[in-house]
């Protein structure tokens, strides 16, 4: 059995600089040249799906749908006033995952309080402020469904998600 001398090793690797760059650390997606992915992001493409016609939404009345697949319940609400992250011509439509970020219980929209409430441990989330957790056991905001409005079709389309759906390692599975 032959031993590889330092001199021969350096010949094989090209230069002594290679020694300084060798690492056993796993190569990340970003190190491979891909973009940094925030929580909830996925390298797989999100589907572009019709949520509803804008004209079918009643102000402050929730409409439930699934996105990005049938196991992910969501809700869309027309707020009737401009919201910072709102979609549509009046920027007043918002949508969220309805799975609580604490332990995944289904949150419901309280029309009187104009807030999402979790029945399990009483977390409350703000629909007008990117699903922000207001109070309770949860530590993360509700994942926000990114909507686009198709003017020609009067259609609200779900196109991606900001935040990680409870219980998943990636939103697209």
Residue ranges binding ligand FES (CB under 6 A): 100, 102-103, 105, 118, 120-121, 123, 136-138
Residues 6 or more apart in contact with residue 135 via CB below 8 angstroms = 122, 123, 124
Minimum distance from residue 102 beta carbon to ligand FES (Å): 3
d(CA 126, CA 108): 12
Minimum distance from residue 74 beta carbon to ligand FES (Å): 16
The dihedral over CA atoms of 157, 162, 167, 168, expressed in degrees to the nearest 10, equals 80
Residue among 83 and 133 whose Cβ is closer to ligand FES: 133
Examine the residue annotation and report whether 121 is marked as an active-site residue of this protein: yes
Minimum distance from residue 103 beta carbon to ligand FES (Å): 4
Residue among 78 and 102 whose Cβ is closer to ligand FES: 102
Q: Could you say which DSSP state residue 59 is in?
A: B
Question: Of residues 77, 102, 131, 162, which has the active-site annotation?
Answer: 102
d(CA 11, CA 22): 15
At residue 129's C-alpha, the angle toward residues 123 and 134, to 5°, is: 25
Question: Of residues 121, 135, 150, 169, which has the active-site annotation?
Answer: 121
Residue among 100 and 164 whose Cβ is closer to ligand FES: 100
Q: DSSP string covering 123-161, please?
A: -EEETTTTTEEEESS--SPPPEEEEEEETTTTEEEEEEE
Residue among 77 and 138 whose Cβ is closer to ligand FES: 138
Minimum distance from residue 113 beta carbon to ligand FES (Å): 16
Catalytic residues: 102, 121
């Amino acid at each position: 059995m032959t031993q590889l001398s330092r001199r021969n090793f350096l010949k094989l690797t090209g230069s002594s600089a290679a020694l300084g760059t060798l690492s056993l650390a796993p190569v990340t997606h970003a190190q491979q040249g891909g973009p940094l992915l925030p929580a909830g992001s996925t390298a797989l493409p999100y589907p572009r799906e019709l949520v509803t016609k804008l004209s079918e939404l009643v102000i402050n009345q929730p409409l439930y749908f699934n996105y990005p697949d049938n196991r992910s319940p969501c809700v869309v609400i027309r707020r009737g006033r401009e919201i910072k992250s709102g979609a549509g011509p009046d920027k007043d439509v918002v949508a969220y995952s309805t799975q609580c970020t604490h332990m995944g219980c289904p949150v419901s929209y309280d029309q009187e309080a104009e807030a999402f409430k979790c029945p399990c441990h009483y977390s409350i989330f703000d629909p007008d402020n990117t699903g922000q957790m207001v109070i309770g056991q949860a530590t993360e905001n509700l994942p926000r469904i990114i909507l686009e409005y198709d003017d020609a079709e009067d259609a609200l389309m779900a196109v991606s998600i900001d935040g990680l759906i409870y219980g998943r390692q990636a939103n697209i599975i």
